[in-house]
Structure 1
């Protein structure tokens, strides 16, 4: 009887796993079907004059503009400018903010002194600084990198510092009782324990960096996806606007996947836990 019960329980578990684990191919096909269905409805609505293509654009018009921009090389030039500024600013701001946030663990007095300034800067919309930065440094790549760095710096700093507050005090006391120095505790306990918080900030910062760069390109820039969208919008060329928006969506997805890959490298135990939960 016990063997039969064990077999029944095992079968029930297998059935539950099969129900939960939907094939990824099926999921992707459903997603593709939704996209193709929406595009078909959109195109038919334009063809039957239910939607004004001047105001909404059309899938066929978007495709034609995409081909034109790819053949001329403008799409790749603008995309490279946006991606380069985003990645450079993201890396610079996130790393610098994370390092300073971790180092604040060394001195609670200094952390308390600068706390109101950090909170005030965090509450400030970073795009408000764009006009000043562009006036100071011009409308080139450096301004976009500076904007992205500022937008990501504070978030990384706050997240890293918050991560140092979540460390188990018993673990630190154990290290002290074993004769560990403050530097050893910082290296062996503080940094590894704060990594999940830092990576969480990276996930947010990749979006903030992209928003900052696009905002800077909207205000003043010689190239970039933000400039392309802004100029096309002023010319009422909605198809080019859609090309820029869709390209930005693709860029955002690729950058987010890149951060996820970095997470699996830096903190593999967190990635394995998520896989078990799924």
Structure 2
């Protein structure tokens, strides 16, 4: 007998052509995104300089770039970014952990879910910005920031995860019950592993929600952070500072989103 491993058959011509088309399509998408970004920045730069819009209201990219370096030169930009990023990460983690726990409890107790369902829907629809003054009075400046961010992300986390749990393949659940599995065993062996895509979708949604909640809280109470920079810049009519802070927020969102996407690819493997 030969000890040599069997040779892997070469990819077919049709498969190679399909891979080539997929690569061309991905490059077209990337080029399209780049052109869209360049076009947006060009219009944003030209319109204020041509007098089509008031630069005091919109600023323009070159001014934002100068404002960014001015903030760097002042030496406290890293501190403001660090404050906001820490608040986002803590709020994000608490909202995901607490929301997952509540969704699991609701799935384990259908009666409790039927009792709480209308209240969860109403709380999710409630504008959380209306709660900022209340949280400020109850919890103080720092506590109110975390409370608003968690409130913004918590209820959508519960609803998304519970919806995913309740839509798990009923045939798999029926098979597990036939084999004698308890409800908790079904949760651990069927429901949770079968809802990886729901967890990832919830993580992606919560990135933006937690960031929104933190910035809203910083508008009201903070003495540091990117939300504070936005408020301060608007008060002294420095739109370049405001836009620079907003661009940094966008970059933070993209970085966290890409990190979650990389984690998703790792788990899917």
TM-score, with structure 1 as normaliser:
0.83
Deviations, residues 230-271 of structure 1 (Å, cap 9, x unaligned) = 1211221111111011111111111111222232234x06xx
User: CA distance change for structure 1 residues 185 and 36 in 2, over 3 Å: closer, same or farther?
Assistant: closer
Measure how far apart 1:213 and its partner are. Answer: 0.8
CA distance in 1, matches of 2:129, 2:46: 39
User: CA distance change for structure 1 residues 50 and 195 in 2, over 3 Å: closer, same or farther?
Assistant: closer
Structure 2 counterpart of 1:256: 257
Structure 1 counterpart of 2:7: none
Q: Does 1:21 align with 2:5?
A: no
Measure how far apart 1:211 and its partner are. Answer: 0.8
SS of equivalent to 1:78: helix
Structure 2 counterpart of 1:61: 63
Deviations, residues 89-129 of structure 1 (Å, cap 9, x unaligned) = 11101111112102222211111111121111111112221
Q: Is contact 1:102-1:191 (8 Å) kept?
A: no
Measure how far apart 1:194 and its partner are. Answer: 2.6
Q: How does 1:115-264 map to 2 (within 5 A)?
A: 115-140=117-142, 142-264=143-265
Q: Is contact 1:101-1:157 (8 Å) kept?
A: yes
CA distance in 1, matches of 2:113, 2:128: 22
Q: Is contact 1:89-1:148 (8 Å) kept?
A: yes
CA distance in 2, matches of 1:257, 1:50: 36
For structure 2, the residue ranges without an aligned partner over 5 or more in a row are: 1-11
CA distance in 2, matches of 1:110, 1:131: 31
Mean Cα deviation higher: 83-92 or 57-66: 57-66
Q: Is contact 2:146-2:217 (8 Å) kept?
A: no
Measure how far apart 1:18 and its partner are. Answer: 2.1
CA distance in 2, matches of 1:61, 1:206: 28
Q: Is contact 1:95-1:156 (8 Å) kept?
A: no
User: CA distance change for structure 1 residues 127 and 41 in 2, over 3 Å: closer, same or farther?
Assistant: closer
TM-score, with structure 2 as normaliser:
0.85
Q: Is contact 2:145-2:221 (8 Å) kept?
A: no
User: CA distance change for structure 1 residues 185 and 130 in 2, over 3 Å: closer, same or farther?
Assistant: same
For structure 1, the residue ranges without an aligned partner over 5 or more in a row are: 1-9, 270-278
Structure 2 counterpart of 1:275: none
Structure 2 counterpart of 1:76: 78
SS of equivalent to 1:180: coil
Q: Is contact 1:98-1:159 (8 Å) kept?
A: no
CA distance in 2, matches of 1:109, 1:48: 64
Deviations, residues 139-172 of structure 1 (Å, cap 9, x unaligned) = 12x3222222111111111122112211223322
